[in-house]
Chain A
Amino acid sequence: MSSLYYFQRGERTIAARLAYDPSDLVAAWASLRSKMTRRLHPDFTRDEWAYLIAFLDEKSLLAPVYSTFGEFAKTQSIPHEVYVPRGSIAVWLPNNVSLLGPLVAILLSLTGQPARYKLGSRAANLVGAFLNFAAIETENTQLREYIDERTECLFLDRGDDRIDKLVEGAAVRMVFGSDEAAGSVHAKSKSPTSVGFSFVDKHSEAWIDYNHMNDASLSELIKIFAIYGRAGCTSPKRIVLLNSSRAEAEEFRGRLLDMWPSIIADDVDPHHASDNVMACQWALANGWNASLVARNKAVIALGNMQLEPAESHLCMNIVSCSLDEALEYLPTNTQTVGYCCSPSSHGEWLSRLSTTKIHRFVPVGKMHHFNHVWDGQDFWAGCFQSIEVA
């Protein structure tokens, strides 16, 4: 049974028909944090679990609600606009998907709308694992009811007939995956009033002003890279070092090599250690100046934009270049540019980047931060449609 909730955005009153009180849902999510700090879930890495704990901050969770509807209203008056849910949401998550699944599930829960998560048969089901954990830990809450009654994980391979039914029944389609996967989902027979969001192949990179970097920013860069290597859509696939000479770039590379083992204490999996040996040889063969981090934890390679990079999971490719060159070689599918620079460089870089198609320009340490606006699309607001009230 849904109710109207009232919000205030400036002078305008907004009403939203919601199945659950978003404040209650957010409080239930936030209540998990203390439990999570005591115990690491076996399906998650320590970094992933820590990220989830940070993500469940009450204020951050309310951001999509405030952004879409406004602040909670103290009194009810005739609204200028009423938001109503579009209906059932279907989310496609690829096999190797990481935290995106649980993060999307958390945000979508705040819409109160039924959500079905389509995973590949080889996928590690982090969505299901996290929703199960949350359900167990939030007994007798609206969140528990939402998870039990309105969420479902489906393991379907390409070609499964049930995918057609999933598309037909969805008012909102959200596809994380390749261009091809998204195109295929949205091309299926669907309701003409449904909406679709595609979060497809993306490139991200970090831009570092050599004159502005210090041990703290290097440490941040190492941590951000080590989480997913080059595998995440927000992972810095290339480190663009600006305002440095060749010798300074070499020094930058050397500092990363020296610092890495103290920042990332754990060994990587043996096959990643082996893969790094390969990547180092690959990079060197291609003309990069590459070295292995101690205990084969990663490869740090320095080169230029013209050299073919070693496309390997934990190979950090650093390119020393001018701002003009950085812009010239910025791929058209760039999602995030993480920055570490002075305020004056920030202004100049942003001004130049605003002529490109990037979606995010954030500090390096926030490159992996996920929110309700992704790839420039406010998918959370898109789960509602509005009724204009005159």
Chain B
Amino acid sequence: MSSLLEVPPYTADRRDEFLRQMHELHRLHLDGCASYRRFADVTTDVSESEDLPYVHVGLFKRVLLQTDSPGLTHERVLKSSATSSGVSSEIRLDKTSSELQAASTLAIFQDFLGREPRPLLILDSPRSLRTRGEMSARIAAALSLRPLATELSFLLDDASDPGSMKWGALEEVLESSQRLMVYGFTWILWQAWAEQRFPESIRSLLLGKEVHFVHSGGWKKLENVAVSRQQFEDTLLDGLAPGSKVIDYYGLVEQVGIIYPLCEHGYRHVPAWADVLVRDPYSGESVTDRVGQLQLMNVLARGAPYHSVLTEDLGRVVSGTCECGRPGKRFELLGRVPKAEVRGCANV
């Protein structure tokens, strides 16, 4: 277990230890992953996070990166949803990292949701679980909440059909619990829950319940149908008990285990076992005062070099202390690098 995971997630003054562990990871991947070694061989010691090499997020769609080392047991491949490019990122998961990642997400979620377990309702289909050796990002995200759950219920009969709600399963949970969690991809949470026409019996059971909605996956589809964050949250929380809330978190399959929930003041906080840098898209330099591409780092990734990933998400590191009280680094997520059409002939 990383010593960083033994402290609360939002803790200042652990940078030296973080850098030391990142260095160890970099060495592990250099030794165990030939592909990584070919492009990331930094021979001199580095004194700052920004000096450590990164893997571009798109590389996980082109090259299956795997680090082999004594004691590392590779288990499954985690696949992204491939919604925009049609090609999935593939992350080789290993046993040790999976344990660290589970501990990481649990600690972060507990900071935002509290420690008391409650039923978890997942807006997905159990069939999504049944692919041997592979796991979709959606299911992985849902299951990361499992340690906080007393029981799991998959609410959709068909993962691609938000109308396929299993009312019986929902009713059963509502009848027995006053507090619960609901997880779904942002778009599915909107379609399958916020826009859902609940039967009257279910609606009355929901009234006054304390519900924590957790969602991830991004706002693009909701922006396309002109749904604002305020409208989204107001619709979800309508009629629920005080203490109900909506947690929007940012995470990538290429950074599995590290999630960045949006705090009540609109920022995302960096846990002690992670770091976030912003890089200029043209010079590659780390910048602190402006928007650029986010580089996400963590000390959990052993089975493949996804410990330091340059994303195509745009963000800005924000200085000062957040009013929410969480110490350490914070940032704003500001969308994605805009894509221009590639013009050519037909054979791109």
Determine the chain B residues whose CB is within 8 A of the CB of A285 once the complex forms: 35-36, 38-39, 59, 63, 65
B324 lies within 8 A of chain A by Cβ: no
Query: Are A228 and B344 in contact (CB-based, < 8 A)?
Result: yes
* Known A277-B284, A281-B39: A96·B342 in contact at CB below 8 Å: yes
Cα separation A202 to B59 with both chains bound (whole Å): 26
Query: Are A271 and B282 in contact (CB-based, < 8 A)?
Result: no
**Max chain B CB contacts within 10 Å: which of A233, A274, A282?**
A274
How far, in Å, is A142 (CB) from chain B's closest CB?
A: 30
Cα separation A267 to B283 with both chains bound (whole Å): 11
**A209-253 interface code vs B (CB 8 A; 1 in, 0 out):** 000000000000000000011111111000000000000000000
* Known A277-B284, A278-B58: A97·B338 in contact at CB below 8 Å: no
Query: Are A284 and B341 in contact (CB-based, < 8 A)?
Result: no
* Known A231-B345, A231-B348, A285-B63: A277·B340 in contact at CB below 8 Å: no
**A186-211 interface code vs B (CB 8 A; 1 in, 0 out):** 00000000000001111100000000
A178 lies within 8 A of chain B by Cβ: yes
**B314-348 interface code vs A (CB 8 A; 1 in, 0 out):** 00000000000000000000000111111111111
**A243-281 interface code vs B (CB 8 A; 1 in, 0 out):** 000000000000000000000000101111111011011
How far, in Å, is A141 (CB) from chain B's closest CB?
A: 29
Cα separation A286 to B65 with both chains bound (whole Å): 12
Query: Are B38 and A94 in contact (CB-based, < 8 A)?
Result: no
How far, in Å, is B302 (CB) from chain A's closest CB?
A: 19
Query: Are A181 and B56 in contact (CB-based, < 8 A)?
Result: no
Determine the chain B residues whose CB is within 8 A of the CB of A275 once the complex forms: 58
Determine the chain A residues whose CB is within 8 A of the CB of B14 once the complex forms: none
**Max chain B CB contacts within 10 Å: which of A176, A269, A271, A281?**
A281
Which single member of B38, B55, B284, B312 contacts A271 (CB below 8 Å)? B312
Cα separation A231 to B342 with both chains bound (whole Å): 7
**A319-346 interface code vs B (CB 8 A; 1 in, 0 out):** 0000000000000000000000000000
A124 lies within 8 A of chain B by Cβ: yes
* Known A273-B282, A274-B293, A277-B284: A282·B343 in contact at CB below 8 Å: no
How far, in Å, is B54 (CB) from chain A's closest CB?
A: 9
Query: Are A176 and B345 in contact (CB-based, < 8 A)?
Result: yes
Determine the chain A residues whose CB is within 8 A of the CB of B58 once the complex forms: 274-275, 278, 282
Residues of A within 8 A of B (CB-CB), count: 44
Query: Are A282 and B62 in contact (CB-based, < 8 A)?
Result: yes
Determine the chain B residues whose CB is within 8 A of the CB of A124 once the complex forms: 341, 343
**A130-146 interface code vs B (CB 8 A; 1 in, 0 out):** 00000000000000000
Query: Are A97 and B342 in contact (CB-based, < 8 A)?
Result: no
Task: For chain B, give the interface size range.
Answer: 20 to 34
How far, in Å, is B343 (CB) from chain A's closest CB?
A: 4
Query: Are B38 and A284 in contact (CB-based, < 8 A)?
Result: yes
Determine the chain A residues whose CB is within 8 A of the CB of B36 once the complex forms: 285
Determine the chain B residues whose CB is within 8 A of the CB of A310 once the complex forms: 62
A169 lies within 8 A of chain B by Cβ: no
How far, in Å, is B159 (CB) from chain A's closest CB?
A: 25
Cα separation A117 to B35 with both chains bound (whole Å): 46
Determine the chain A residues whose CB is within 8 A of the CB of B283 once the complex forms: 295
Determine the chain B residues whose CB is within 8 A of the CB of A177 once the complex forms: 346
Query: Are B343 and A231 in contact (CB-based, < 8 A)?
Result: yes
Query: Are B282 and A176 in contact (CB-based, < 8 A)?
Result: no
* Known A271-B312, A278-B58, A285-B59: A296·B344 in contact at CB below 8 Å: no
Which single member of B56, B281, B293, B343 contacts A97 (CB below 8 Å)? B343
B310 lies within 8 A of chain A by Cβ: yes
Query: Are A96 and B346 in contact (CB-based, < 8 A)?
Result: yes
Which single member of B57, B338, B342 contacts A270 (CB below 8 Å)? B338
* Known A274-B337, A295-B283: A97·B39 in contact at CB below 8 Å: no
Kindly report which residue of chain B lies nearest to residue A231, judged by CB atoms: B344
Which single member of B62, B281, B342, B344 contacts A233 (CB below 8 Å)? B344
Determine the chain A residues whose CB is within 8 A of the CB of B340 once the complex forms: 269, 271-272
A313 lies within 8 A of chain B by Cβ: yes
Kindly report which residue of chain A lies nearest to residue B58, judged by CB atoms: A278
A287 lies within 8 A of chain B by Cβ: yes
Determine the chain B residues whose CB is within 8 A of the CB of A113 once the complex forms: none
How far, in Å, is A177 (CB) from chain B's closest CB?
A: 4
Of residues 230 through 282 on chain B, the ones whose CB sits less than 8 Å from some CB of chain A are 281-282
Query: Are B63 and A94 in contact (CB-based, < 8 A)?
Result: no
Determine the chain A residues whose CB is within 8 A of the CB of B55 once the complex forms: 281
* Known A271-B337, A285-B39: A278·B59 in contact at CB below 8 Å: yes
A151 lies within 8 A of chain B by Cβ: no
Query: Are A277 and B56 in contact (CB-based, < 8 A)?
Result: yes
How far, in Å, is B37 (CB) from chain A's closest CB?
A: 9
A381 lies within 8 A of chain B by Cβ: no
Q: Residues of B with Cβ closer than 8 Å to A?
A: 35-36, 38-40, 55-59, 62-63, 65, 281-284, 293, 310, 312, 337-348
CB<8 Å pairs between A and B, sample of 11: A97-B346, A98-B343, A124-B341, A177-B346, A231-B343, A270-B282, A274-B56, A274-B58, A277-B310, A281-B40, A285-B65
What 7 A-B pairs come out closest when comparing CB atoms?
A: A231-B344, A284-B39, A233-B345, A278-B56, A278-B58, A285-B35, A98-B343
